[in-house]
A = this chain, B = another copy of it.
Amino acid sequence: MPTVYDVARLAGVSTATVSRVMRGSDLVRPDTRARVLAVIDEVGFVPDASAQGLSRRRKDIIGLVALERGVDETDIERDGLLFVDQLVHAVEAVLRGTGCSLLLSFGRNGEPFQGRIRALSGKVDGLLVVEDAMPAAQLRALSRRLPVVAIAASPGEGGLDAVRVDNAGGMQALAAHLATGHGYRRLGFAGGPPDAPDAVERLAAFAAAARARPGCTVDVVPGGDFSEASGRTAARVLLSREAVPEAVACANDQMAIGVIRELQRSGIRVPADVAVTGFDNIFPGRVVDPPLTTVGQPFRELGARATTRLLERIAGSEAQPRADVLPTELVIRRSCGCPVTPSPAT
């Protein structure tokens, strides 16, 4: 593994010059530069990022820590991941332009995740924390040591950069559509993990919006985990009730898909007998039958905004911490009872 010293010796220059050539130039005579570049190319020199990081006090790596949801221990149900996967791609896309790389770390709640985050924090220039992947206190402590941007975290956290989506707005629009648009009165809700801020907000907003309408009731089934399986479970609970709801909203799309499939397995028609809706707008929701009415969230923008902000902080921005809320959008398809949409490729 060649080092700057090797290159310097071979090119007959000092390490300073090699370094200057590497970092896009400074003042190096063209022929010197050419000579150095030739040697670099010949010996296949690649600077050691550790040494660079140490010397420049900057690692050009940011970390993303997230909870791995809806993946069960046996690894069979691999369907809960779409949200974080989308995010990862969005973040990576932004980083692509910069020299920065993305370090990933997933945890399942209950695990001793904290130690890993600690260690990880030594490897990065800044951290993206998804949901409440760590206790608020620790998050604050962390954010004193390095730039941190929270994604989809609990709104409570002040004094911290954060980006989230408008869960409440989306759910209100959805509740209006179901109650006012379709006239459903007996509503149900398949709730997500109590430790997922998004899930909590969605549940609260939907229930509040629905109950605010005269005659509307909401039968809440809490305790899902964002997975399809937990949607099925919720459906079974709802089916066991005296009065099965006319429409069931869900904490996310996977759960909605689980609800749909479980209902169908029991011979119930969706949406004719029971309407079902999700949240997220991920690919499988377009594919399921009936296509899922849902609230779309701007994954791309969510990841991009958070990443951009983090990079600014790393670059030294001292601006006031901001908590951005990105708009969500009601995506009407058929599972809510709306007629076929004639869109070309939905």
- Taking Cβ atoms with an 8 Å cutoff, the residues of A that contact B are 1, 44, 46-54, 59-61, 63, 68, 71, 75, 78-79, 81, 85-86, 88-89, 92-93, 96, 99, 101-106, 116, 118-123, 141, 144-145, 228-229, 232, 257, 261, 282-284, 287-289, 299-300, 345
Contact = CB atoms under 8 A, between A and B. Distances in A.
Given A89-B81, A284-B284, A50 B44 contact: no
A69 to B, nearest CB: 11
A116 B98 CA distance: 10
B46 A122 contact: yes
A21 to B, nearest CB: 15
A250 to B, nearest CB: 14
Chain multiplicity (copies): 2
Nearest to A282: B78
A50 to B, nearest CB: 3
A322 to B, nearest CB: 24
B106 A103 contact: no
Nearest to A56: B50
Given A49-B122, A96-B116, A287-B288, 15 more contacts: A46-B121, A46-B145, A49-B50, A49-B53, A52-B122, A54-B54, A60-B123, A63-B101, A71-B89, A78-B89, A78-B282, A78-B299, A81-B85, A261-B287, A288-B289
Contacts of A283: 78-79, 228, 284
A128 to B, nearest CB: 13
B68 A59 contact: no
A75 B94 CA distance: 13
B123 A61 contact: yes
A168 B46 CA distance: 38
Given A102-B104, A120-B101, A44 B141 contact: yes
B47 A122 contact: yes
A54 B51 CA distance: 6
B102 A345 contact: no
Q: Most chain-B CB neighbours within 10 Å: which of A46, A116, A257?
A: A46
A145 to B, nearest CB: 7
B345 A232 contact: yes
A288 B300 CA distance: 25
A315 B133 CA distance: 31
A92 B118 contact: no
Nearest to A299: B78
Contacts of A71: 89
9 contacts: A44-B145, A51-B54, A71-B89, A85-B85, A92-B106, A93-B106, A96-B106, A102-B104, A289-B289
A228 to B, nearest CB: 8
A176 to B, nearest CB: 26
A187 B118 CA distance: 55
A106 B102 CA distance: 10
A256 to B, nearest CB: 11
A54 B46 contact: no
Contacts of A60: 123
Given A79-B283, A89-B71, A123-B49, A103 B105 contact: no
A162 to B, nearest CB: 22
